[in-house]
Structure 1
Amino acid sequence: MTDSIFLGDQKCKECHKEEFKEWRGSHHDKAMQVADTSTVLGDFNNKVFSSQGVKSRFFTKGKDFYVNTEGPDGNYHDYKIVYAFGVFPLQQYIVKFPNGRYQCLRTAWDCKEGKWFDLYPDFKIVNSEWLHWSRGGLNWNTMCADCHSTNVRKNYSEETDSFNTKFSIINVSCEACHGPGKQHVDDATRLGNKYIDTGTMVMTSNTSPKELVNQCARCHMRREQFSEAYDYKDTMLDHYFPQLIEEERYHADGQILDEVYVYGSFVQSKMYQNNITCTNCHNAHSLELKFEGNKLCAQCHEPQKYNTIQHHKHPLNSKGSKCVNCHMPGKYYMGNDFRRDHSLRVPRPDLSLQYGTPNACANCHKDKDNEWAWNSFKKLYGEVDSIHFSEKLIPGIQGKEEGHKGLLSLINNTKHPEIIRASAVKALAKYNATIFVKEYIDLLDDDSSLVRATSIDVLSEINDSSYISYFLPLLKDPKRSVRIKAFYGLTGLPKNEIPETFRTNYDNVEKEFWKHINTNSDFVGGRIKKANYFLKKGDLQKGIEGYANALKIDELNNSVRLTLANLYYQNKDFIKSESLFRKVIELEPDYGPVYYSLALLLAEQNRIDEAIIQLKKAQGKMPENIRVYYNLSLLYNKKGDVVNAEKILYQGLKIENDNESLLYALAYQFYTTGKYEQSKNVINKLIKEHPETPQYVRFLEQLQTVQ
């Protein structure tokens, strides 16, 4: 959207004086500011801060603010501070780099304690790493801009690896939330006292509770972007797709773990399901809580019932008597920023005992354990008398045996929160998604956009194109993110096989898809998706090129490096493949699978002795991996070392004594060395355990002919 239709907060102030007064000085107002003596809060009086071997000196030159610190080349340089970022509880500082890049310093100012601190105090980050302040992890254009300014257009060019990022207003102004004001002001000026709401603004008093949550979510959720830029039109899922409940991002029960920005938590809650919205608790303009203490919750929950010792079981005015400490526990992010979990749940120490998830009781009583917490809970409140979705979600997220049953129950019950159902859809794929293809196909018609989209994601990853025609109707889905996911899922279907009735939709969504890909090409994940698109098309060369480009963004990303190594392997480019495998070993010497992959590569080149060395290293790193023993036995056989070939199979069978592959290999080993009776014994065992396998019967018949 053009800058000209955004008029600025001073224009809004003319008619909305009270709202402007509340907004002024808020976190939104101070989200980003030009660095000067009135905005910079940190101590730049030649202060030195050291962390993880890096020394940063903060100083001034005239009216300008500078830092001398380690740059992307590993050497120290002076950098001018151009922007102050945020206001409390910390303030970051932004430096201008070449190619339109702006980088946020890793060292920030603690506004509570009045001191410099390291955002990653426990991590040694080298200058070539993505998380280094001068690289992608702290790049303003990619990671921050969209939510800290108004009408941001990232404008990234993969071709030149440069940004031309623009914004209409530097901070989160009135129009960042309500949309461009020009039409609104023109209408109000023209109509005067006859003015009525023409629907040109968003986030108004007419916005429904759930829609308001979705509009706030644009900046208050972890998400993937699906449009070039937010244009205040359409819905959240036309622009973004939220992070689902997954390990490493959330605890298995949906409680916050990594930095996920509130939305994914709140939409799990009963509050959200009952049309409580952000502004019921927060002032829309100052962002402050509407009331202090339990009075906030007492807006809806009877204080005579809940704000009592009989309910919370703690002394009045103690920490334990505050609703939020039991129902909204939190954790610190970015070093000193305490954020509460907005899923608003009852503490469940019983689930903590069973699955290792956290609970507010033990979190507060740090000298006690979960068993104490559960016993205390039962003593105070009795047994849990209601079923929470987490009881079915946790086993599935954690991949427990039979966990798929709980996931299916969640998926099929539309009374559960939408994000929980979608998360269950994704978690179900852990239980071999091919078993549940019918269920996933049925879910493509689900009323929930999140569920439809996630079902597409899962089906798209199954190496089977027999059902992809089911994605065709979703090219007409009302949500852009769903349409784009459907298009990606159809990648394996040649364009000339797209039915005529869907051809126009296909062409339109193809344009949306490439805008999505190009918008995210400054992320490793964006470049990987582009590479995978070409791989699904059967274009191995472009797939290799895509993964090589992804590695350029994060040179230490071994997940990308391993995939690229395997693609080179597939392309018979053994030299490049071996080089990448060995680089992974250099960076992660304890990662067992890479030794296994390297060994297979060496074996294919008939470098048997080298392959055996790598497999023995793999055995040491992952002694429970049966495939290592199986392949090591094959290599010893190939070398003619039948003693070690047999010995290594016995080692594997000590770990898994009924492993079918190892037993068959052992039977064949006995056969080739003339131990026919022993071979016969093993084959009889296999026939007994796997009577449906004719291969074993034929082997036994062959054995009987040689005796």
Structure 2
Amino acid sequence: MLTLISLRDFHREAVPPENRPIQARIAGYVSSNACRACHPGNYASWHASFHRTMTQVATPGSLPPDTEKLELAFNGREYKTERRGNKFFVRTRPEGGSYGEPQQVVLVTGSHNLQILWLERGDGRTLRQFPFGYIVAEKMWAPVTETFLIPPRIKEYYSTGAWNGACMDCHVTQGQSRFVTGNKWDSQVAEFGIACEACHSEGQEHIARNHNPLRRFKIHLTTGSDPTVTNPANLKGPESGLACGQCHSVWAFNDMPDKIDFNRHGAAFRPGARDLAQRFVVQPNAPDHVEQKDFIRHSEPDFFHNRFWGDGMIRVTGREFNGVQASPCFRGGEFSCISCHEMHLDSPGQTNAKTWARTGQLKPKMDSDAACLQCHKDMTARLVAHTHHSAESSGSRCYNCHMPRTTFGLLHAMRSHQVSSPSAQESIAYGRPNACNLCHLDQTLAWAAQNLHAWYNQPVPELSEDDRNVAAAVQWILKGDAGQRALIAWGMGWESAQKTSGRDWLYPYLIYTLTDSYAAVRFDAWKSLQTLPGFSDFPFTYTAPDDTLREAATRGYEKWLSEVRDPNAVYRPQTAIDSDGRFRKDVWQRLRSERDERPIFLAE
């Protein structure tokens, strides 16, 4: 009897669920579990990474801790969650109406910064998004559209089937969307999350041929390389980088037949290839794929504006390969993602797996000048002469000048992965904050241009009156577009910038920015404000209604004036703050009236 019960239960568990995408046997793929026995160390480091948890089946262990007891409201609807055994459900009702039937939470994407839940739709394996995301660092739920840089008029962006038709392209290993009809999908994957075979290719042949110990021993004694599997660490820079770029890039399909093939059968790209097969990496100003890029410009006019700066540099996070590929370093054929990062804990002196995962899977010392000096060895002896800053200064850190934080995503400013040199011209022509003014927040563009001319003989561009007299950061946070404002709001909380530029004058700008129309900008203003003395515990709900936001800003400003402000503080005229700690009204009103209100949707 016990045996019969066990077999019955096993059969019930073995039957794949019908209300969500499933892990299936896709030709050649064997899953990470098949790699574990022979590669326990690599399996362990992968298992500790956030690649593994990019998509997970919803369980008590994968969901945020309070998922079972949520009561949330947004955009005219109320949501209540409940738990039944190890399953979680959401009920929805219009405000004042009745709750509908429960919908099961079946998948969760993300685990490091932001977690988003996906619900059954009741139509095969098609999913719909739960409209709230969990911000891990803050331990708080917020509307998903307020966890991205999205125009405030957009309340719900991801439609039914969005995970099946888009998200799974980069959040699983060898996903097959398998569109059926209407908005119905029959999606399956080789493995949820980014697993071994995403980077090393299918493992079936590798396992079959290496059952023979003599073959393994021969490889060990000779080439050390096994052609049945790909190791990105052994590839040249472009091919190695593309193993990451298959997900970490802005890409598009070559044509409709390739899109259909990708949808039905998954990616034809395999690590080690020189291109993405059915797809191509979109570089706006490169001479390739002209017809396809022209089609994108006509069919989606804001596509490039929402992803790239005007000169083609990427401005959204998660697309780092675009930057790597466009870097001068890349042209030498050796530079790639794994010049600084590693997919396993291979390097001597590496930290523990948890720290390694949380710091971008960097190799040891790759968060320092060592990352650049491994190639530019001659710069070691002349660092100060090159940077014109003291050796200990943040201005002598290679990253800060050549990889400044000009990309944005996941509510953070992040480093550009396109290695470049700072210039005032990039800020004037394309609106991108330059590295000098991201650190020297209290200085003008003219100041940056003059120093770059004196030190590196860069031409001084034509400058406006404001460029000569008003700090660049003040211009960006008052009249810039939402992307620029987000970068500066985050940057005002950067310790290096605060030490260089002073802190006293930052308060009124950050407090005012708590009322910005874009939720992501408000969030960064709040977090930066909390880094300033006297405001570490300042309470603020960045998703609150406009009236509440204004009340919070008034409360913050009064607190600063009466409790925190140094009455002896002296404010540089470039900051447009008068001696009483108030905005110079003429400058503030004029800059604010010139704000770039073009809708910005940074498509992460």
TM-score (norm 1): 0.48
Partner of 2:326: 268
Task: Say if 1:110 and 1:336, in contact at 8 Å, map to a contact too.
Answer: no
Supply the AA of the counterpart residue of 1:230: A
Question: Is the 2:269–2:277 contact (alpha carbons within 8 Å) kept by the matching residues of 1?
Answer: no
For 1:180, the equivalent position in structure 2 comes to 202
- 1:194 offset after TM fit, Å? 2.7
Contact 2:35 2:43 in 1 (8 A): yes
Q: 1:93 to 1:15 in 2, by over 3 A?
A: same
Equivalent residue, structure 2, for 1:103: 128
- With over 3 angstroms needed to count, the CA separation of the structure-2 counterparts of 1:304 and 1:241, relative to structure 1, is closer
Q: Secondary structure at the match of 2:83?
A: strand
Structure 2 counterpart of 1:249, from 307, 321, 334: 307
Shift in Å, 1:276: 0.5
Residue 90 of structure 1 contacts residue 337 of structure 1 at CA under 8 Å; is this kept in 2? Answer: no
Q: Tell me, yes or no, if structure 1 residue 383 matches structure 2 residue 420.
A: no
1:210 aligned residue (238, 248, 251): 238
The superposition leaves residues 314-370 of structure 1 with CA deviations (integer Å, 9 ceiling, x where unpaired) of: 455554443222211235645425432111100111342355443122233333332
Amino acid of the structure 2 residue aligned with 1:92: I
CA–CA distance in 1 between the matches of 2:395 and 2:73? 38
* Partner Cα distance (1:70, 1:257) in 2: 38
Cα distance in 2 for partners of 1:181, 1:355 equals: 46
Counterpart residue number, 2:217: 193
Deviation of 1:26 after TM superposition, in Å, equals: 0.4
Which letter does structure 1 place at the counterpart of 2:53? K
> 2: distance between equivalents of 1:50 and 1:376?
52
Contact 1:149 1:167 in 2 (8 A): yes
Pair 1:278 & 2:337 matched: yes
**Could you tell me whether the CA contact under 8 Å between 1:156 and 1:163 is conserved in 2?**
yes
CA distance, structure 1, for counterparts of residue 387 and residue 380 of structure 2: 10
The answer (yes or no) to whether the contact 2:28–2:204 under 8 Å persists in 1 is yes
Offset of 1:201 from its aligned partner?
A: 1.7
> 1:38–1:239: structure 2 CA closer, same or farther, 3 Å change rule?
same
Alignment partner, residue 34 of structure 2: 11
Counterpart-to-counterpart distance in 2, 1:314 and 1:364:
13
Amino acid at match of 1:146: D
Shift of the 69–216 alpha-carbon distance from structure 1 to 2, 3 Å rule, reads same
Cα 1:314–1:59 shift into 2, 3 Å: farther
**Alpha-carbon separation, structure 2, partners of 1:31 and 1:385:** 46
Q: Distance in 1 between matches of 2:230 and 2:441?
A: 45
Gaps of 5+ in 1: 387-707
**Structure 1 counterpart SS, 2:234:** coil
Cα distance in 1, alignment partners of residues 401 and 92 from structure 2 = 43
CA distance 1:232–1:333, change in 2 (3 Å): same
Identical columns (%)? 24
Matched-pair contact (CA < 8 Å) for 1:52–1:124: no
Contact 1:222 1:242 in 2 (8 A): yes
User: Which among 78, 81, 89 is matched to residue 105 of structure 2?
Assistant: 81
Question: Where does 1:460-499 land on structure 2 (aligned, <5 Å)?
Answer: none
Look up the equivalent residue of 1:89 and give its one-letter code: N
> What corresponds to 2:411 in structure 1?
336
SS in 2 for 1:3: coil
Structure 2 counterparts to residues 132-151 of structure 1, below 5 A: 132-135=157-160, 139-151=162-174
Report the equivalent of 2:361. 288
2:587: which partner in 1? none
The answer (yes or no) to whether the contact 2:269–2:275 under 8 Å persists in 1 is: no
Q: What does residue 60 of structure 1 align with?
A: 83
1-structure distance, mates of 2:450, 2:154:
47
Larger RCO: 1 or 2 (CA < 8 Å, sep 6+): 2
2: CA distance between counterparts of 1:119 and 1:331? 23
Query: Structure 1: which amino acid aligns with 2:267?
Result: Y
SS at match of 1:189: coil
Q: What CA distance in whole angstroms lies between the structure 1 residues aligned with 2:452 and 2:78?
A: 49
Which amino acid in 2 is paired with 1:264?
N
The AA in structure 2 aligned to 1:384 is: Q
Work out the CA distance in 2 between the residues paired with 1:215 and 1:320.
33
1:3 to 1:252, Cα distance in 2 relative to 1, 3 A: same
Give the Cα–Cα distance (whole angstroms) in 1 for the partners of residues 76 and 385 of structure 2. 53
Larger Rg: 1
Superposed displacement of residue 126, structure 1: 6.5
Residue equivalent to 1:453:
none
* CA deviation map 1:386-427 (0-9, x unaligned): 9xxxxxxxxxxxxxxxxxxxxxxxxxxxxxxxxxxxxxxxxx
In structure 2, distance between residues paired with 1:117 and 1:264: 30
CA distance in 2, matches of 1:164, 1:134: 17
Cα distance per residue 1:448-498 (max 9 Å; x no partner): xxxxxxxxxxxxxxxxxxxxxxxxxxxxxxxxxxxxxxxxxxxxxxxxxxx
Q: 1:47 to 1:322 in 2, by over 3 A?
A: farther
Q: Distance in 2 between matches of 1:75 and 1:296?
A: 58
| Pair 376,56 (structure 1): closer, same or farther in 2 beyond 3 Å | farther
- The alpha carbon displacement at 1:307 in A equals 8.4
Is the contact between residue 126 and residue 164 of structure 2 (CA under 8 Å) also seen in structure 1?
yes
Map Cα deviations across residues 276-318 of structure 1 (whole Å, 9 max, x no partner): 1111110123661112322322322338637844433445555
* Superposition pairs of residues 600-615 of structure 1, within 5 angstroms: none
Matched residue SS, 2:53:
coil
Q: Is the 8 A contact 1:305 1:311 kept in 2?
A: no
Which among 438, 453, 472 is matched to residue 363 of structure 1? 438
C-alpha distance in 1 between matches for 2:75 and 2:435: 33
Find the aligned partners of 2:440 and 2:168 in 1 and give their Cα distance: 39
Shift of 1:105: 3.1
**Of the candidates 20, 44, 53, which is equivalent to residue 21 of structure 1?**
44
Aligned residue for 1:398? none
**In structure 2, do the counterparts of structure 1 residues 321 and 210 end up closer, same or farther at CA, with 3 Å as the change threshold?**
same
Shift of the alpha carbon at 1:205?
4.1
Q: Which amino acid aligns with 1:81?
A: V
SS at 1:135 equivalent = coil
1:302-341 mapped onto 2 (5 Å cutoff): 302=377, 305=380, 308-314=383-389, 316-331=391-406, 333-341=408-416
Structure 1 distance, partners of 2:385, 2:74, is 49
For 1:321 and 1:58, locate their aligned partners in 2 and report how far apart those are by CA, in whole Å: 51
User: Contact conserved, 1:215 with 1:236, CA < 8 A, in 2?
Assistant: no
Change (3 A) 1:4 1:252: closer
Cα RMSD after superposing both structures: 3.3
AA aligned opposite 2:163: W
Instruction: Give CA-to-partner distance per residue, 1:51-108, whole Å, 9 cap, x none.
Output: 566554455344333444579xx99654322112121112221212224212333421
Structure 1 residue 219 displacement after superposition: 0.8
1:230 aligns with 2:267: yes
Distance 1:303 1:52 in 2: 58
Provide closer, same or farther for how the CA distance between residues 206 and 45 of structure 1 changes in structure 2, counting only shifts above 3 A: closer
Which residue identity does 1:109 align to in structure 2?
Y
| Structure 1 residues 62 and 15: alpha-carbon distance in aligned structure 2, compared to 1, 3 A threshold | closer
* Structure 2 CA distance for partners of 1:256 and 1:232, relative to 1, 3 Å: closer
Distance 1:60 1:374, change over 3 A: farther
CA 192–106 in structure 1, closer or farther in 2 if over 3 Å, else same: same
Q: Is the 8 A contact 1:353 1:371 kept in 2?
A: no
**Alpha carbons 1:89, 1:337 under 8 Å: kept:** no
User: What residue is the counterpart of 1:153 in the other structure?
Assistant: 176
Residues paired across the two proteins, number:
378
How far the C-alpha of 1:133 sits from its partner, in A, is 3.6
CA distance in 1, matches of 2:218, 2:85: 54
Contact kept, 8 Å, 2:179 with 2:186, in 1: the verdict is yes
- Residue pair 2:269, 2:276 contacting (<8 A) in 1 also: no
Shift of 1:257: 2.6
| Greater percentage in helix | 1
Superposed structure 1 runs of 4+ greater than 6 Å apart = none
Alignment check: 8 A CA contact 2:115 2:134 kept: yes
Structure 1 residue 30 corresponds to structure 2 residue 62: no
